[in-house]
Amino acid sequence: MELENPLESCTVLYVEDEKEIRNYVIPFLGPRVKTLWIAENGKVGLKLFERHKPDIVVTDLKMPKMDGIKMSKMIRAEDPEIPIVLTASYSDQHHLFAAIDAKINAFIRKPVKVNELIRTVEDLAKKITYDRAKRRVQATMAQHYLAIEEEALLIYIDDEGRIKQINDSMALRLNYPIDLLVGEPFESLIYKDHHFHRYDSLFEAIGKGDSWHGELHLITQLDMELTFKATLIPLYDTETPTYQFMMLLEDITELVNYRKILKNELDETQDTLHEKIHFLEQYQNAINEGTAICRFLEDGTILKTDTRFDSIFGFKPNQLKRRSFYQLCPNIEAVLKRHVAEAIERRSILRKRIRCQDKEHVLHVADSVFIPIYKINGEIEEIISIHNDITDIIKLNEEIKTTQKELLYILGEVAESRSRETGNHVKRVAEYSRLLAQLAGLSDEDVELLSVVAPMHDVGKIAIPDEILLKKGELTQEEFAIMKRHALIGGELFGHSERPFMKAARIVASEHHENFDGSGYPIGKRGQDIHIFGRIVAIADVFDALSMDRVYKNGWKTDEIIDYMKKERGKKFDPHLIDLFLEHIDLFLEIRKNLTR
């Protein structure tokens, strides 16, 4: 995702009564912004604001007809969030307090220095651009949640275990008005029986901000017990910051009642009370394992399905009877048949995640249990397969992962744009890291994870002052000490979450300046104590930094870079990783060529 240029995407209102100052500032500020409106006093400026709604206001303090303070207060009354920059020749407390009262974002002393004014406006524009990008991602997530809410049964729970919201479908299922449930403890909906301790793990998950999956027994307003399969998904609110939880539910009450149907069938098909009890116990155990049921013979011939199974695969009742269960899983038919046969031979239960196709050839993912049912003489009678369709949950997890990736990438680009380096720097570091991780033999999952979080390596630079971050030439010892803090700050930005993306981003941000010989920062880790993600990104970052022009240096020639990286083998860089890098240098040079503009 490319970030828009902060200044070029923002509109600015400039209010200044002195013509000489206007003519001095406008040629520098005008070409850098999307639109620049000019006013010679506060009264005209207020009219332009009401007509055009600019993103940023820059105003003088003392002007005829209406001064900058009065205009700013009237603008604030209409738009409390708009950034306002005040220029003034005064430094006494009276005007300073007036500016604070008007909630001025920045104060620039006259005579105005153009570079200071542009830098101030640019910093405000960066925040506006970041907020816009954040809102776009949040809007996309909101669309995903709305789509889910239309189809699913949902309850939103806060971090104290109270119901924050419940969608119409779930409220209707429980026969409650929504306003009677919002604010109430979620615990009040749980059916109170002597097995209440079974939900200890659920409330522990809410307390820790973790996910949870299991079976819930809830009670309706009419005191009817309903049974649900439930998945609790934590949603982290960066504004608060706290967790809220989305609980996705599936009504399996019909499935639980299925044991009555099975008992009736047993009455018709079995001869002795002993055999009835034997079958009833096995069927009841099978029902307790899942949500959708299919009974079939050893060769796969389907005997009976429940309504939930039929609906998942798009068939009407009894349409699947006499068909082969294995043909519903064309890509794994032979493998699944072999695994079921092995389970029968071992007289064991088979648990397996399978992918099946419905009537329209749409793929479904299910966590499945295959339970062989035996006659008293030990011969196989049939197989009961129990399926929990997790297709929607898988899709939701992928959407959440995608959104997290986009947010991380945006944050990486914001950090780079502030240090005036191109967005291609984070792209190159990501691709270098991906390739080196593959060469190092990391798993596909870790390779993908690292490529997503590698752009986070310098995110801590957001907190470094401009005069140090943008300085041309070498930094003093004091300045470099401040610059080094970006590694610690970057790690702290991601907190102590154990979620894969956040944990990996924290590692990369805090460890990419650690040296293999222990001479790096922020804490002087050495050798294998440095996470391999940090060791990989260290090589990728240095290679790109040396290759490109920066405000304080020109890019190096390729031969010079290779010589330097060879000399730092075992000092700055992991010997094994740097050997892999240099052995495949042509592949890294190709990435640099394709992503350099």
Question: 241: cis peptide before it, omega within 30°?
Answer: yes
* CA 566 to each of CA 444, 555, 561, 575: distance values in angstroms, whole numbers, following the listed order: 28, 18, 9, 9
Domain that holds residue 201: 152-251
**Is the Cα torsion angle 449, 450, 455, 457 positive or negative in sign?**
positive
- The answer to whether residues 408 and 554 belong to one domain is yes
Sorted by sequence, the CB contacts under 8 Å of residue 168 that are 6+ apart come out as 178
The region that residue 565 occupies, defined by phi over 0 for left and psi between -120 and 50 for alpha, beta otherwise, is alpha
The Cα-based distances of 369 to 248, 314, 592 in angstroms read 21, 21, 50
Between CA 541 and CA 298 the distance in angstroms is: 58
Please check whether residue 172 is in contact with residue 222, taking contact to mean a CB–CB distance below 8 angstroms.
no
In tens digits, the chain (597 residues) has pLDDT values of: 334 567 888 899 999 999 888 888 888 888 888 899 999 999 999 999 999 999 999 998 888 888 888 898 899 888 888 999 988 876 555 666 667 777 788 888 888 888 888 888 888 888 888 777 777 666 555 554 554 555 568 888 988 899 998 988 888 888 899 999 999 999 999 987 756 678 888 888 888 888 888 889 999 888 888 888 888 888 766 566 667 888 888 888 776 665 555 445 445 544 554 555 455 455 555 444 446 888 899 999 999 888 888 887 788 888 888 888 998 888 888 889 999 999 988 888 888 888 888 788 888 888 888 988 888 778 888 988 888 877 777 776 666 566 555 665 666 655 555 554 545 788 889 899 999 999 999 998 899 889 888 888 887 887 778 788 777 778 888 888 888 888 888 777 776 667 777 788 889 989 999 999 999 998 999 999 999 999 999 999 999 989 887 656 688 999 999 999 999 999 999 999 999 999 999 999 999 988 876
- Is 404 within a domain? yes
Q: What was the pLDDT predicted at 576?
A: 96
CATH assignment of the domain containing 333:
3.30.450.20
Q: How many CB atoms lie under 10 A from the CB of residue 394?
A: 13
Phi, psi torsion values for 77, nearest 5 degrees: -65, -30
Please state, in angstroms and rounded to a whole number, the distance separating the CA atoms of residues 543 and 588.
9
Ranges of beta strands (E only) in 82-224 are 84-88, 106-109, 153-158, 163-166, 212-219
> Identity (one letter) of the amino acid at 354?
I
Whether residues 484 and 562 fall in one domain: yes
Question: Do 218 and 234 fall within a single domain?
Answer: yes
Indicate whether 228 and 281 sit together in one domain: no
Same domain, 27 and 93: yes
Inter-residue contact 525 to 491 (CB < 8 Å): no
DSSP 8-state secondary structure symbol assigned to residue 4? P
CATH of residue 578's domain is 1.10.3210.10
309, 338: one domain: yes
CATH of the domain at 67: 3.40.50.2300
**Backbone dihedral angles phi then psi of residue 45, each to the nearest 5 degrees:** -60, -40
Please report how the helices 575-583 and 585-594 are oriented relative to each other, as an axis angle in degrees rounded to 10. Answer: 70
Residue type at 233 in one-letter notation: I
Residues 267 and 310 in one domain: yes
- Domain tally for the chain? 4
Among residues 216, 251, 286, which one ends one of the domains?
251
CA dihedral 478, 484, 489, 491 (to 10 degrees): -160
Name 347's Cβ contacts closer than 8 Å, sequence gap at least 6. Answer: 372, 374
The last residue of one of the domains, among 359, 389, 419, is 389
Look at residue 202 and tell me if it is in a domain. Answer: yes
> How much is the pLDDT for 282?
55
| 209 and 301 part of one domain | no
Is residue 264 domain-shared with residue 194, that is, in the same domain?
no
Q: Are residues 353 and 408 in the same domain?
A: no
Q: The tokens of 209 are what?
A: 């901000």
The verdict on 340 and 447 lying in the same domain is no
Q: Which among 106, 135, 164 is the end of a domain? A: 135
Mode of pairing for the β-strands spanning 292-296 and 302-305: antiparallel
Distance of alpha carbon 342 from alpha carbon 347, whole angstroms: 8
- Indicate if 245 and 319 belong to the same structural domain: no
